[in-house]
Amino acid sequence: MVTETMMPVNGIQVCLETFGERTDPPLLLLAGEASSMDWWDDEFCRRLAAGGRFVIRYDHRDTGRSTPFPAGAAYSGVDLMNDALGVLDALGVPAAHLVGLSLGGALAQRIAVEHPHRVLTLTLIGTSAGLGPDAVPVLAGVGAVAVRTPAATEVRLRTATDEVDWSDRRAAVAELIAEVKSRGGPFTPDEPQLRRLAERVFDRSADLGAARLNHREAGYGPPVRDRLAGIEAPTLILHGTLDQRFPAEHPRELARVIPGARLVWLEGVGHEVPPRAVWGQVLSEILDR
């Protein structure tokens, strides 16, 4: 059974859905930057639930049906972390398995460092070690996906110009599809599938342009890189071999600094939500823990 509901969280309204039985161990999915929960595929969530997890996914603030903000709103990465914790609080969940993608992985790291008692296990997908002021996205027009790494390496996958009208459904959907394809690999869903997803994302969003700008300006909060060695939760790192936003040195550093962390490569996967072709591997790794 899937339940979508609005809940008061951290002073705002957050939209969330749950899959599976409340008596099963809880698992919280944390989406990427300016991403609604739609990016976590329905069937992927159902399979996690079938594996004996009470699965929770939610819309970050400013995405989906959660509280929207005007462009230039002053909230931070710490607020985004507190939203995640607030979702658990609203559901009466003291601790959960955390599965975070990209920005969601950075938020999961922060939770593991600052609130270790809330974390059963940690799964980090397509992310980097303790993102902060030394590794922040470079805003080059709304939708830019360049990143400046600690080694001052800049990777530019695609730059969406300020000319994209995010209030125009056709233009916004086309841009979302182009961005996913530019970051993906041979297993990235085909255009009809991406179009259905992008349309769903647009239709559930109040203002995509404002959300994207606000999330980038929010950043990730104060850096936690130097505190990752204190993480005690069993940690799994899943990383695509074709991820250009965070090349191989990023997951390797995570595996080096987090005690006992295990790095598993996803062959043929880019910087994207794990595509269906690797679900068997991803689900097995997550559920076998």
Catalytic residue among 66, 102, 128, 205: 102
**215 flagged as catalytic:** no
Q: Are the beta carbons of 215 and 62 closer than 8 angstroms? A: yes
CA distance 224 to 242: 26
**271 flagged as catalytic:** yes
Residue with tokens 């990023």, as numbered in its chain: 250
Q: Which residues pair with 266 in a beta bridge?
A: 240
**102 flagged as catalytic:** yes
Identify the CA nearest to 167 among candidates 224, 212, 233: 212
Q: Is 77 exposed, middle or buried (0-12, 13-18, 19+ CB in 10 A)?
A: buried
Catalytic residue among 97, 215, 243, 250: 243
Other Cβ atoms closer than 10 A to 117: 7
Return the DSSP state at 227: G
Catalytic residue among 215, 239, 250, 271: 271
Side by side, the strands of the sheet bearing 262-266 are 2-9, 12-19, 54-58, 26-30, 96-101, 119-125, 235-240, 262-266
The set of catalytic residues is 102, 243, 271
